[in-house]
Structure 1
C-alpha cells in the first residue's frame, strides 16, 4: 500500500486528490497538510511513502517545505502545480532543484474533458515515484564515470553535428546538472524531448537557462540549429530534425502521439537517424515507459553513437532499460560523467 501525504491549501483540490488516490487499490491518503509548515511536521510524524506538494501556500510555500523535508525526513515528493504564472513556475522548479522528483498539473474537475488524461498521469507518476524509497537532496550524485554494463563502445568519429536527448521523470534534475557542466562554446546543437505536463515546458526552459552558459530555448518551426544552443520540444508538438542542404532545421508537427507521447523522443530520434545518420549522438536519460528506445535503435543502426544514463543514478529506469533490452545502446554513462563524456565524444 502506498501511503500518501497531501500538502495542499485548497480543500477542494485536496478532496479531489484524495478521491483520485483512494480509487486505486494500492493507494491510501494518510494525511492532509494545509500549508508547508504543516507538511513538514506531518512528513516527520507520518513517514509517508510519497508526498504531493502544492507550491503557493500560506505560512510556508512548497519550495521551502520541500527543502526542509529533503533535509530532515527524505521522501519522494511530487509537485502538483497550476503553473499559472512565471513566479509559480520558478518556485516549482526550485523545488525540483531541492529534490522533488516530478511536476504534475493540478487535476481539473471530474467533468473536465482532460480529467482522465491528467488523472492517469498523476496515478502512474505517484506509483512509480513511490518505488524510489530513499531520496535526499543531491542524492543522484554518483562517482563520475561510466556504468557497470559491459557494452561494446564504438569508436567515436569526432565529427558529430548534433546531440539528441530524450527524458521523462527525473529528467529536469539530470538536465540541470549536465547542461550546467557543458562549456559555453559546446561545438554542436542539442535537441531535447522532455516529457512534462502541459504548461510547464516554458518554466523548465527558463529555470535551466539560469543554470548554464548555453543558450536554452523552445524550438521554433523552420529555425536552423546552431551550436551551443539547446532546443526543447514545445508543448504537444513533436520535434523533428530535417536537413536542408548542409543545414539542420527544426520541423514541428502535431502528428499522432507515439508510445503515448507528443512530443515523443522516438519521433525525434528517428528523424535524427534519417537526417544525420552516423554524425549524431543519441542519449536517453531517466524516465518512465519505453519512449525513445526504438528511436535510439534506429539511430544506432544508422551508425550514430548511442548512450543511456546508468541505473544507479536514474530515478526511473524505464526508458534507458528499454533501450538496453533492444540492444540500442553503445555506452552506459553515470549522470555525473555525462557532460564530460559528451564533450569528449564531440571533440570539445
Structure 2
C-alpha cells in the first residue's frame, strides 16, 4: 500500500486528487494539509510514502515546506503546479532543486477531455516516485576535478561536435547538476529531450538557464546549433538534428509519438547518428521506461560515444538500464562525475 499525504489549500483540487488516488487499490490518502506548515508537521507525524505538494499556499508555501521536509525528514515529493503562472513555475523548479522528484499539472475535472490522460500520467508518476530513496538535501557534494576521473584510456574516435541527452523522471535535477558544472567555454552544442508534463518546458529551460554558465533555451525549427548552447525539445514535437554542409541544425517534427512519447529520445539519437556519427556523444540519464535505448544503440553502431548515468545516482534506472541491456553503452558514469567526464573527453581529443 502506498500511503500519500496531500498538501493543497484548494478544496476543489484536493477533492479531485483524493478521487483520482482513491480509485487505485494500492493507494491510501492518509492525510490532507491545507498549508505548508501543516504539511511539514503531518509529514513528520504520519510518515507517508509520498507527498503531493502545492506551491502557492498560505502560512508557508510549497517551496519552504519542501526545503524543511527534505532537510529533516526526507520523503518523495511530487509537485502539483500550474504551468501558466510564471512565478509559480519559478518556485516549482526551486522546489525541484531542493529535492522534489517530479512536477505535474494541476488535475482537470472529470468532464475535461484530457482528464483520463492526466489521471493516468499522475498515477504512473506517483507509483514510480513512491519507491524512490531520497536523502537529506542540506549537504554539499564536493566537486570532482576532471583529472581525478576516469584515469583509464577513453576510446576517442574523432573531434566531437555535439552532445545529445535523453532523460525522464529525475531528469531536471540531473540536468541541473550537469549543466551547472560545465564551463561557459564548453565547445559543443547540447540537445536535450526531457519528458515533462505539458506546459513546463519553458519553465525548465528558464530555470536551467539561471543556474548554468551555458545558454539554455527551447529548440526552434531551423536554428543552427551553436557551441555553449543547450537546446531543449519543446512540447509535443520531436527534436531532430540535421546537417547542412558543416552546420548542424535543429529540426522539429510532428511525427507520431514513439512509444508514448513526443518528444522522444529515440528519434533524437537516431538523427544524431545520421548527422554526426562518430563525432557525437549520446547520453541517457535517469528516467522510467526504455525511451532512447534503441536510438543510443544506433548511435553506438554509428561509432558515436555513448554513456549512461549509473544506477546509484539515478532516481529511476529504466532508460539507462534498458540501454545497457541492448549493449548500447560505452561508459557508465556516476552523476557527480559526468561534467568532469565530458570535459576530460574534450581534453583528450
TM-score (norm 2): 0.95
1:8-157 aligned at under 5 Å gives the runs: 8-137=8-137, 155-157=155-157
Deviation at 1:115, TM superposition (A): 1.1
Map Cα deviations across residues 202-257 of structure 1 (whole Å, 9 max, x no partner): 11111111111111111110001100100000111110000111110010011100
- Who is 1:166 aligned against? 166
* Alignment deviations for residues 47-78 of structure 1 (CA, whole Å, 9 cap, x no partner): 00000000011111100000011111110000
1:140 CA displacement: 10
In the other structure, the counterpart of 1:321 is 321
Cα distance in 2 for residues equivalent to 1:13 and 1:27: 18
**CA shift digits 1:255-278 (9 cap, x unpaired):** 100021000011111100111111
Contact 1:144 1:335 in 2 (8 A): no
Question: Is 1:260 aligned to residue 263 of structure 2?
Answer: no
Q: Is the 8 A contact 1:259 1:290 kept in 2?
A: no
1:220 matched to 2:225? The reply is: no
**1:76–1:135 Cα contact (<8 Å) kept:** no
Distance 2:294 2:153 in 1: 19
Aligned residue number for residue 237 of structure 1:
237
Q: Which residue of 1 aligns with 2:295?
A: 295
CA–CA separation in structure 2 for the residues paired with 1:61 and 1:320 = 35
Distance 1:153 1:265, change over 3 A: farther
- Partners of 2:124 and 2:214 in 1: how far apart? 33
Report the Cα distance in structure 1 between the residues aligned to 2:138 and 2:207, rounded to whole angstroms: 17
How many residue pairs match? The answer is 343
Report the 3-state secondary structure (helix = DSSP H, G, I; strand = E; otherwise coil) of the residue aligned with 1:30. Answer: strand
Within a 5 Å distance, the mapping from 1:332-347 to structure 2 comes to 332-347=332-347
**1:6 to partner: Cα distance:** 0.3
- SS in structure 1 opposite 2:308? strand
Stretches of 4+ aligned residues off by more than 3 angstroms: 138-146
Deviation at 1:116, TM superposition (A): 1.3
CA contact (8 A) 2:154 2:345 kept: no
**Aligned twin of 2:248:** 248
Alpha-carbon separation, structure 2, partners of 1:139 and 1:319: 27
Q: Assess if the C-alpha contact under 8 Å between 1:240 and 1:251 holds in 2.
A: yes
Summarize the Cα distance change of 1:324–1:130 in structure 2 as closer, same or farther, 3 Å threshold.
same
**Secondary structure of the corresponding residue to residue 60 of structure 2:** coil
Whether the aligned pair in 1 keeps the contact of 2:158 and 2:278 (CA below 8 Å) is no
Q: How many angstroms apart in 1 are the aligned matches of 2:309 and 2:321? A: 9
Note if 1:311 corresponds to 2:311.
Answer: yes
Q: List runs of 5+ in structure 2 lacking aligned partners.
A: 147-151
Q: Distance in 1 between matches of 2:344 and 2:170?
A: 25
Q: Distance in 2 between matches of 1:230 and 1:71?
A: 31
Match of 2:149 in 1: none
**1: distance between equivalents of 2:48 and 2:73?**
10
Deviations 1:107-161 (A, max 9, x none): 1011111111111111011111111133321689599599xxxxx9861135000
Structure 2 CA distance for aligned equivalents of residues 39 and 69 of structure 1? 9
Distance across 2 between alignment mates of 1:122 and 1:88: 19
